[in-house]
Amino acid sequence: MAKDYMPYLIMGGLGLGALYLMTRPAAAGVPAAAPAQVTVTGPSDFIGLGTPGGTTQALIARAQQELGLPLSGLSVRGLRPEDLGLTTSWSHTSTGANVWDTWINTTIADATFVAIEGVSYAGSNFEQARITAAASVSGFWNLSWISGLSNQVYYEASPIFIDQNQPLVVSIIASGVATEEVALLGTVVEKSGLVIA
């Protein structure tokens, strides 16, 4: 029985063509564009939108488009409780069992853009978090199983973006009255000089 080598020849030719296109030098007279790079430490570098730094890059693009600022006019940092209208703590006290308690009810500051990417929770009473961004329910996160994870941290595959001057409401349902810490993990991009850390 004769073998048909044509599919292998075609695949080999396509592979060589792709290799040539990836390694060929730039055309003469056409300068290579340098992509904008931002170095950020934190969860955004490791998860989000499928690529390292994907969430951060998407948030920067949103801020640049709305504010009309270059990358040098923006600051990138981790999310803090104060960014969401809380004091210096991620603490919440539930009022009872099976009741949605409003934990965060704020409007994102002017020239500030937020991406909520995950949650850290080590308690035992909070069951779910409901995140409403720009008057639309953006996510329900099951909190009850997170405390059983070895690192007690959960990252959402699709971050929740909240642009400047948009409302944000985070509600929590619990199994009873309790005060516990629930830290939202995320990234903030803002006009440079708004926060001095």
The DSSP line for 121-133 is E--SSEEEEEEEE
- Give the pTM: 0.71
The answer to whether 116 and 79 have CB atoms below 8 angstroms apart is yes
Multiple choice CATH, 43-191, 2.60.120.10, 3.30.465.10, 2.60.120.1170, 1.10.3720.10:
2.60.120.1170
Q: What is the pLDDT of residue 148?
A: 85
HEC sequence for 18-38: HHHHHHCCCCCCCCCCCCCCC
% of residues, the chain, pLDDT over 90 = 58
Q: How confident is the model at residue 157 (pLDDT cuts 50, 70, 90)?
A: confident
What mean pLDDT is predicted for residues 36-51?
40
Mean pLDDT of the chain: 81
* Residue pair 38/53 in contact by the 8 Å Cβ criterion: yes
Of 14 and 128, more confident: 128
Q: What is the pLDDT of residue 48?
A: 38
Identify the three-state secondary structure at position 57: helix
| Mode of pairing for the β-strands spanning 74-78 and 179-191 | antiparallel
8 Å CB contact between 141 and 156: yes
Tens-place pLDDT, residues 55-98? 899 999 999 999 999 999 999 999 999 999 998 799 999 999 99
Mean pLDDT of 163-181: 95
